[in-house]
Structures are given as structure tokens and as C-alpha cells.
Structure 1
Amino acid sequence: MGLLQEKEGWEQVVPTLQPINSPAILAHWRPLVFLWDKLSLEQRGAINQLELEPGLQKPAPIPAIHVQGSNVTEKVPPEVSGFDSHFHPDRLNELSSGVQDVSKSILPGREPDHYVPITGGVLNYCDPLNFSHPEFEEQVLGRIIDSNSKLAIGIHPKQAAEYMQGQWECFLKLLSNPRVSAISEVGFDFTVKKHLWRHQKELMDRILSLGTLGRILVMHLRGADDGKYSKVVNRLALRRLKRECLPHQRVHLHCFTSDVSMVHAWNEAFPHCYFGITGKVRSFNEDQLAALREIPLNRLLLETDSPHLKLHPGCTYNTPYYLGDVGYYVARARGVPLAEIIGATYTNAQRLYC
């Protein structure tokens, strides 16, 4: 440090941390901050518990801050926890040892930049082959004893041309179980070949003909060639729901990526409509960001859609563990603290899935 002071022409002092009295200190702390960022939460906790040498005073904690465009973590108060409103445990099971308990989420490669403890979530099973398994009721329904864990069952639009009648009957049986809160995923995915679209329309009509049985409708609306906003499939779904459902129907728009006009259309048609935002928020354009800011705070939900939509290049897949990182990008887009988004979306999910 002395050589650096001499080279840069800084005042010749003995560098100290209390007070920080020289720019040379940065030469010491820059690699330490880099190394600290590489540690796990457990390793950081162990270091924090180390005893100081006699005579040294522990420095006062530095408040967490956020610098635009940096990786500095914005922390949330310890009493604030998150609710992942949409993830797929069965698909996660194919990649890991399982994540039935969302409070013990798995870590596939790196720590989140913005850690938030997860104390609730909606477990989505929309693959008929999985929920029609003979042991599904015992292994899944039998474990949904935590009031913060909600269950959604359905047939994904991409499965519309493939599901069997026996799987449909199993789906109906599961809907009769009071532990099932939602029908998921209902809607259209026009990324498949065009000749398969009619099967998706038939499946949606078949589901809506049930009367929804008081369940939440979790909508999957993904367009083909109508841009990023999926306005065609949004309008198709909205038209069908307005025809078949009452205005008080609870609706969860999963992975919402449309524009302001669709925010208004869904809100006007269904006052109990909620908008789920995933990691796709990182690539939103100005129209989509405007829509995100237009969503009322009390109608906003956070989703990881894990194991899909991984947020970080170093990860092999996504998990609910990264919900705080999704929340961070939503908070930044809306210009509010992360804690506000995490708290509001937790309350919203509890209200919707009560």
C-alpha cells in the first residue's frame, strides 16, 4: 500500500479501516469483495461468527445499497418472505432430488444475487403422465399440509392433442379434492404447429364447460407470430372466459408479457385477475415495462416458473431459490424497493389462493 501511495502521489499515512483514511484501502478491499461474492451464505455466516483479535473493534454494519447496473445486493428485512406463485415440482424432480418443500429450495450452481426466504408457493402439475401416476395422490396430495403450499392441476396446452381419456378422468377426480386450489395451465400455446391449435381450443372449451368448480384459472397464453405481446391468444382467451365465466372468476395470468391494453382489458373483464411476472422481465421492452408499471400493486405476483426461465448463465436450471432476483428486476422497473415488491406479492398470493 505504501508503494501505491507513493506511485499515485497520495498522502503518506498508515492505512486504517477505522477510519478509512486512504484510497489505498480500495486496493485491499476490491479483491476481498470479489472473493466474498463467491462464498455461499453458509460460508459468509461462518466468517461473521469469527472472533476478533483482542484490541480490535468490530466495524459498524454497512447498510445494503443498490448501484444501477451493478451486482450489489439490495437486502430485504428478515421478517419479509417470498411466495413463488408458479413452479413445477415434477419437472424439478427430473433434474434434482426434489423440491416438495418450497422452503428448502435447491441450488443449481450459484447463490441468488438477492436472497429472499421462500415460505409459500403454488405447485403446478400440468403433465397428465405425472399426475395420473398411481402414487400421485399419496406422494403429493398427502404432503400438502402446509397452508402456504397450494396445488394446481391441469393439462398443459401443448399436451392438448396427446392426453388420454383416462388421464382426463384422473384430472376430474383430482379436482374434487379440496386441496387443489387451481386449474393450471389453461389456454393457448401457438408455438406448436398450426394444425395442433384446434386441439388447444377444444381442450380449453372442455375445461371451461366444467364451470371451473370454484377453482382459480391459471392461464398460459403464448402467441406464435404476433410479437412478444401474445395479444392474439390473450384476446382469444379473454373472449372465451367472458362467455363461460362470471366476472368474479379468479384468474392468474401466468408469465404475463403483454402490453398496457391487455392489462386494462383483463382488469375490466375480471376484477379478481392477477398478473404473474417471471424472469422474462429482464428482457422486457418499453411497452412491456409500461404494462408492468400499469399493473396495480395489489394484483401483482412473482413466479420463477422453475425449472424453466433460468435467470443466471451459470445455472443449469431455475428454482424458487431465485425468486428474489425476479423481484429485484420487477422492483427496479417499477422504481420501488425490493422489500415492497416481495411483501406485496406475498400478500397478493395469500389473498388469491386463500
Structure 2
Amino acid sequence: MSIATRSPKKQPSKWSEKKRSNTLDVLTRPGEDTFSSIKRLSQSKILVEPYSLYKGIMALRNEDLKRAAILQYHVARQQGLQYWIKEFRRNCQCDMSENWIDENLPSLDGKKLHIFKKSGAAYAPESSRDIRLATNPNIKIIQENAADNDTGNFSMGKVASSVVLVESSTPRHYEKPSCRQSSSRETYAVSDRTTHMLGSGKHIPSQDVSTSSSDNVAIRKVRSRKRNLSVTVSQPSTKLKSSQHSEYCMLSTCFSLDKKVRRHCTKSHMPSMFQMVSTDSNNVGQCVQALRWLIRAALGERATLDDAVQTVNRAGKIPPTISLNPLHSDLFRQACRFLEVQEPEKFTLHPVNSPAVLLFWRCIMVLLDKCNQSQQKYFFHFKSVSETSMPFCNPISFNTPISLNIQSDSELPSDLEEYPLPDGSTSDDMEVAEQGELPAVFDSHFHLDRSSKKIWGVNKGHTVEDVLHYSDSNFVSCKPSIPVRVVGGIIVYSEPETYPNISFTLEGPWRVAVGVHPKHYRSLSDEKMSLLHQLLHHPKVVALGECGLDRSVSPSEWSQQEEVFVKILSLAKPCKPLVLHLRGPVGDEYGSDVNARCIMLMERYCSRAQWIHVHCFKGKVDVVETWLKKFPNTYFGVTAAVRTFDENQITGLKAIPRNKLVLESDAPYFPLGRAKVSTPAYLGETASLVAVNLGIRPSELMQVTLENARYLYRQKVGYTL
């Protein structure tokens, strides 16, 4: 009997005896649907009796059914309940494939439901298990519709069967994918017309009844006592299929035949940055730069991304069986940010629907095949000019001609390989900036509304320039001791009451982040939530935040904070930075627990490729390592609070990679000296305090954090976007 047709047996088990009350009907709340109930129970670590769970989820849609099964399975796995898992796997066999169960609901003891058969094993169909033709041992036997004998009087009825024999004694010769083989098939005769009774070892003579031929395929009807067999003998096509193990290289000039063609292409013809599918921002930036050069080399100086997409689609060299996995989608979302193109709802290969999909290795090979040998060699040794400046120095629109100036590594100063020059700058400009009176800085987090309230008593009606002028006015008793040139910054609106209107305008190199401070969660009404959603589509709004968790309030408010935080996370997009405010309770200066809780929530509701700015970071080394492990695109903002850091916090500060560090004033907070209010103008002092702890020059730190912030928030230093 087929597995799909049998029904599960409700057998008594250890689980059933102990948990008879844990049925889905009992645990489901009034008015609650099945999936929501299972999701709630799984989050509360409550297991449903397996047979009751199986009956309940069978009424769900296929996608929800599988998600519900996985949610409950993970609860059982965390508790080590092998007997629950075993019974649930047995029940699921009735409606789910064994492959899927082994993959998504694996047994704790490693046992498999699905056992793969050896590919070379020949077997007879179910209805003719006692008969096979003793010809070539390599023949494959496939069940087909039965054919009547030549007289038309004998019918096999339910026991009728037919066998298709495929001759495979001749050696297989592969051809290049571009070379088409003839569709005609050569006819072979059956040399030994005997049938073999499986399991008995007896050979029964067979009689050849008739032979017919159509489309160059020989069909031979053979009668063996009371069995009628229709035998087709043909030569297999030499056309490559996706199931075959070997495939030729996609380059027309390369005749390598490899079982892993992707490994061959990436290692033999493509630069090192393409050898792994990585969503690391540096690697994606290098891949995009290499792609730009390749398009120009393959299609000409004035080629556009649109031309490249059309070229790949017209080539038709990507087999229809090839599909994208989720890791590719994360890579393409990152690439859309670098290429500055719109992200589609879903990335597809058939046809290629976005320039970002051109980073798929088969698309790269299609373009590379249009280059000459010297260009192919140069592409293999390609090295990026800079890892981060490319997407912003030369942004490409979908129909804008590509213009690149590729140089070798030997022509670049060593310090520029990690930290690229600002847009439109040269090495001379850098030297002037370092030796000039006012070094350039970028304030990645400050509150204009709160600063205006502190200085002038109103939270509206003033600009960033007004705040900067105030810091240098006679009204201030303690002016900045390290004057700086603030060339950009992020204005943060975290109180729904002070949100700008949807049609606001903003002059200068300033951008906006809009969110909900965890202490202001009560003020997020439905109306303000709608306004927040609209503001996120404003061209000047480049980030979502600040938002997060603040444990300095009463524990009774923590759950409500989390509910609002989860609601805000639903608006997050991987390419738009998420600004986080994370503060631990009294006594937890490092915020280890609140950071761990935030990471847990974000793993559930956000993509791993999410861009993150952890604002006002005060954590230890383990917090830094966990953030970068779970979310590689995490940046850490440091304020003047660094002056109060203890030894553990200073060690955590040193653990932050230099290309993940940004400076922030968090104005009007953390004033320095006798100043009553902090402003972006005091960022020079903050840089000096941080540089002392890192053991580097303040000017060096300002330059590094300037580039990091510009990269994170897509700012062009010195230009009005």
C-alpha cells in the first residue's frame, strides 16, 4: 500500500499517557485559529499531543501546515523529547514526503525515513514483479501502459504491464551544451529473448509476436505464457540533463568537464570575491565593482545595466531547472543598495528581472563569454579599487552608461585599500583635510527637536545650522576645544509627538531617522503609526529609529515595549539602517541581557542582512561578537559616555572592527566640560576621548568614522543630495 493512502494509527504512547489533556482542542482559545494557537503555544514552550496536533494542522494551507509542524518540533527538540518526535514523524508520513520530514523534522537519533536506492539497481514494476527480460544488465526497466497482443483477443486487465528497456552498453560521449544533437534514436535488437522469473532463478522462453517502429523507436511485443510485454529499445540522447553529474564549462573556449561546474567556473575564471555567496558588505561591494567592469568589457563603453540584463536573457544559457536559494536573495538585496536600483518583490532567473541578479555566477559566465581572452584573464585577476566607495562614487541608474577607471593594487596607497577617499576627492584633498584647521566629521545620531527644546524652549522652528552657530556664540561659556567641520549627520525623531509632517523639506547634508524611543511607546497611536510608515518613504528619511528596549523603566512596562518594538520591526527593510536604543536595568551597565533579548527578537522578525546602528554602545566584547555573528552589517555608535567606561567596556570598544565604528553626539545629551548642552560641534572632543582608548590619532579616527557613517547612511561628503 502506498504511504500516501494509509491513515495514521492512534496508538497509546508515553506522551499520550502523560499528556492526555494537552490536545489542540483544549489548548486553543475561543475564537483563535489553529495556526495562531500553535504559534502562541510554541512561543510559550507548550507541546501539543502529537496525534491531536497532526489532525489539527491537516486543515491548514500547505505552507502554514509545515510552519506549524516545525514550530512544535523545535519545542520538542529543545526539551529532548525523542518519543514525541518519533510519534509525530510517523503521523506526518501520511501527508508529507519522507524527504521533507527527514530534512525539517529530523530524528534525534539520526534515523532516516527515506532510504535512497542505488541508481544502478534495476527492478521490475509492481504489477509485473515476477518477469523481466534477461538482456543487458545495465538496462533500465520503466513501467508503461500495457499493449494488447496482435490478435486483439487477449487482454491483461489489472495484471497487464509493459517494460521499457533502454540500451546503455555503449560508452557515453558528452558534447558541449552549445552543440545540439540529432533527435533521432538508433534502434537496437534484443539479443536474448528470454524472460526471468524474479526470485525463482528460472528462465522461461519468450516468443516474439510482432515488431513496429515509429519515430525511429523500435517497439517489440513479446508474449511469455500469460504475460504480454511491450518492449521499446532505443539509444539514450546525449543531451545533458540537470540530473547528470558532469557539465561542460560555460565558456566556449574552455572544454573542462566537471561534476561541479560552479566550483570550476568560480575558481578558474572568476575573481576570488565570487567564490562564495556572502552578504558581507565589503564582499558585495567588490562583486558589484567587478560586475561593472565586466559589463563594460563585454558590451562596450556605453553599455547599461539594462543592456546586460537583456543580453543574459537573450542568451538562454541558464537551464530552466536552476533556481535561487534564500542566500542568493539576501545577496541581491544588498547589491540593489550598491547599484542604486529598485528591489523587486521577488528575484527571478527566468527571466532575469533585476540588475542585481547579474551577480549570479551563471549570469557572470554569460557576460564573460563575450569577452576576449585577455579580458577574461584580466577579470580573473580583478582587484577592487576600493571596497566601499564604488557604489557612491559612480552610482549607476538602470539606463545610465557605465564609466569606470580600473587601476592595479600597486598604484594605490596602502591606506586607501581599507578606507576609500570621499566622493570627488583626491589624495591631495585628503592631505589638505588632515592638515587643515577644521577636520571633517559626521554626527551619526543627534536630536534636533530635543536640542532646540533645551536651548530655546521650543522643539520646532530651528535648523541644524542654528544649533551649530549657538555652540560658537557668546551665550556658551564652554566652546568646543577641538573645532571641527560637521559635513553631515542624522537627525533623529524618536517621539511621535514631534514627527515632521509628510511634506517636510530639509536643506544641507543632513538626513533623517524616524522611530519610536522605547520610553515613548505609549504615544504611538494608529494615526502616528500610519504617519511613521509614510515618512519612511520620504527621500530624506534614510533610517528607521531609534527604537528598541529600555529596561531602566518598571518591569511591568517591558512586555508593552516589546510589543511596540516588534510592530516597528515589521516596517524594517534590510537596505534601510535600523537604529537601536538598548539600555539595561539598574546595575547592568553593559546591557548584556537586553542586547541578547533584542537579538532574539530580530532573528525572528528581521533578515540577517539587515543594516543596524547600535546607538550609544556600552557593551563588552561578547556583545560585540554576538552582534557581528548574527548580523554582519552591524555598526556601533560611540558617544562622549566613553569617558565613564570601565575596563570591560574599553575592551569591548577595542573589539569593534574599525570599519564598523561611528561617532555620535546624541545631542543634547552628554555635554562636555561646563557646557549645558551637547551639539554636533563638540564631536571633536568625543573623537579625542575615543581615540585615546583606541591608541590612535583623533584625526585618523575622524576620517575612519566619517567614511563608515557615509557608507552606512549613503551620504556623499560635501555634497547636497
TM-score norm. by structure 2 comes to 0.37
Query: Which residue does 1:53 correspond to in 2?
Result: none
Structure 1 residue 197, shift from structure 2 partner:
1.1
Query: Which residue does 1:285 correspond to in 2?
Result: 646
1:248 to 587, 609, 633: 609
Alignment of 1:91-110 (within 5 A): 91-96=450-455, 98-101=462-465, 104-107=468-471, 108-110=476-478
Q: 2:445 aligned with 1:77, yes or no? A: no
Query: Which residue does 2:497 correspond to in 1?
Result: 129
Task: State the alpha-carbon separation in 2 of the partners of residues 105 and 193 from structure 1.
Answer: 39
Structure 1 residue 167, shift from structure 2 partner:
1.2
Moved more, 217-226 or 274-283: 217-226
CA deviations 1:265-298 (Å, max 9, x no partner) are 1111111110000011000000100111111111
Letter in 2 for 1:318: S
Structure 1 residue 76, shift from structure 2 partner:
5.7
Structure 1 residue 153, shift from structure 2 partner:
0.3
Task: State the alpha-carbon separation in 2 of the partners of residues 294 and 129 from structure 1.
Answer: 38
In structure 2, the CA distance between the partners of 1:211 and 1:336, relative to structure 1 (3 Å rule), is closer
Task: State the alpha-carbon separation in 2 of the partners of residues 294 and 221 from structure 1.
Answer: 19
1:320 to 676, 680, 692: 680
Moved more, 342-351 or 96-105: 96-105
Task: State the alpha-carbon separation in 2 of the partners of residues 87 and 210 from structure 1.
Answer: 22
Letter in 1 for 2:664: E
CA deviations 1:137-183 (Å, max 9, x no partner) are 45xx311x43x312100111001123222111111111121321111
Q: 2:537 aligned with 1:169, yes or no? A: no
> 1:127, 1:155 within 8 Å by CA — same for their partners in 2?
yes
Task: State the alpha-carbon separation in 2 of the partners of residues 349 and 295 from structure 1.
Answer: 15
In structure 2, the CA distance between the partners of 1:338 and 1:213, relative to structure 1 (3 Å rule), is closer
Query: Which residue does 1:86 correspond to in 2?
Result: 445
Moved more, 93-102 or 329-338: 93-102
CA deviations 1:88-120 (Å, max 9, x no partner) are 001111123534238935314312222221111
Letter in 1 for 2:498: N
> 1:105, 1:319 within 8 Å by CA — same for their partners in 2?
no
Letter in 2 for 1:121: G
Query: Which residue does 1:142 correspond to in 2?
Result: 505
> 1:102, 1:121 within 8 Å by CA — same for their partners in 2?
no
Query: Which residue does 1:298 correspond to in 2?
Result: 659
Alignment of 1:15-30 (within 5 A): none
Task: State the alpha-carbon separation in 2 of the partners of residues 246 and 105 from structure 1.
Answer: 41
Structure 1 residue 82, shift from structure 2 partner:
0.3
Alignment of 1:146-161 (within 5 A): 146=508, 148-161=509-522
Note the residue ranges of structure 1 that are not aligned, 5 or more in a row.
1-74
CA deviations 1:159-215 (Å, max 9, x no partner) are 112322211111111112132111111110111111111111001111112343742
Query: Which residue does 1:329 correspond to in 2?
Result: 689
Task: State the alpha-carbon separation in 2 of the partners of residues 221 and 109 from structure 1.
Answer: 33
> 2:494, 2:547 within 8 Å by CA — same for their partners in 1?
no
Note the residue ranges of structure 2 that are not aligned, 5 or more in a row.
1-432, 457-461, 715-721
2:548 to 171, 187, 197: 187
| 2:490 aligned counterpart, secondary structure | strand
Letter in 2 for 1:84: D
Query: Which residue does 2:567 correspond to in 1?
Result: 206
Query: Which residue does 1:111 correspond to in 2?
Result: 479
Task: State the alpha-carbon separation in 1 of the partners of residues 451 and 467 from structure 2.
Answer: 15
Query: Which residue does 2:633 correspond to in 1?
Result: 272
Task: State the alpha-carbon separation in 2 of the partners of residues 272 and 304 from structure 1.
Answer: 22
Task: State the alpha-carbon separation in 2 of the partners of residues 118 and 86 from structure 1.
Answer: 12
| 2:523 aligned counterpart, secondary structure | coil
CA deviations 1:221-280 (Å, max 9, x no partner) are 001135210011100111111222222110000000000001111111111110000011
Q: What is the percentage of aligned positions where both structures have the same residue?
A: 33
Moved over 6 A (4+): none
Q: 2:675 aligned with 1:352, yes or no? A: no
Letter in 1 for 2:546: E
Alignment of 1:208-247 (within 5 A): 208-212=569-573, 214-247=575-608
> 1:226, 1:232 within 8 Å by CA — same for their partners in 2?
no
In structure 2, the CA distance between the partners of 1:142 and 1:99, relative to structure 1 (3 Å rule), is closer
Query: Which residue does 2:624 correspond to in 1?
Result: 263
Task: State the alpha-carbon separation in 2 of the partners of residues 213 and 174 from structure 1.
Answer: 17
Letter in 1 for 2:479: E
> 1:277, 1:303 within 8 Å by CA — same for their partners in 2?
yes
Task: State the alpha-carbon separation in 2 of the partners of residues 227 and 102 from structure 1.
Answer: 37
Task: State the alpha-carbon separation in 2 of the partners of residues 105 and 215 from structure 1.
Answer: 31
Letter in 2 for 1:220: H
Letter in 2 for 1:317: V
Task: State the alpha-carbon separation in 2 of the partners of residues 137 and 208 from structure 1.
Answer: 21
Letter in 1 for 2:524: Y
Count of residue pairs the alignment pairs up: 272
| 1:191 aligned counterpart, secondary structure | coil
CA deviations 1:283-325 (Å, max 9, x no partner) are 000010011111111110001100011122x111111111000
| 2:505 aligned counterpart, secondary structure | helix
| 2:445 aligned counterpart, secondary structure | strand
Task: State the alpha-carbon separation in 2 of the partners of residues 311 and 103 from structure 1.
Answer: 16
Task: State the alpha-carbon separation in 2 of the partners of residues 305 and 105 from structure 1.
Answer: 17
Query: Which residue does 1:21 correspond to in 2?
Result: none
Task: State the alpha-carbon separation in 1 of the partners of residues 544 and 689 from structure 2.
Answer: 28
Compare CA radii of gyration and give the structure with the larger one.
2
Task: State the alpha-carbon separation in 2 of the partners of residues 243 and 204 from structure 1.
Answer: 12
Task: State the alpha-carbon separation in 2 of the partners of residues 261 and 309 from structure 1.
Answer: 25
Task: State the alpha-carbon separation in 2 of the partners of residues 118 and 169 from structure 1.
Answer: 33
Query: Which residue does 1:43 correspond to in 2?
Result: none
Letter in 1 for 2:525: M
2:669 to 308, 319, 338: 308
Moved more, 112-121 or 75-84: 75-84
| 1:95 aligned counterpart, secondary structure | helix
Task: State the alpha-carbon separation in 2 of the partners of residues 342 and 257 from structure 1.
Answer: 20
| 1:280 aligned counterpart, secondary structure | helix
In structure 2, the CA distance between the partners of 1:103 and 1:127, relative to structure 1 (3 Å rule), is closer
TM-score norm. by structure 1 comes to 0.73
Letter in 2 for 1:323: L
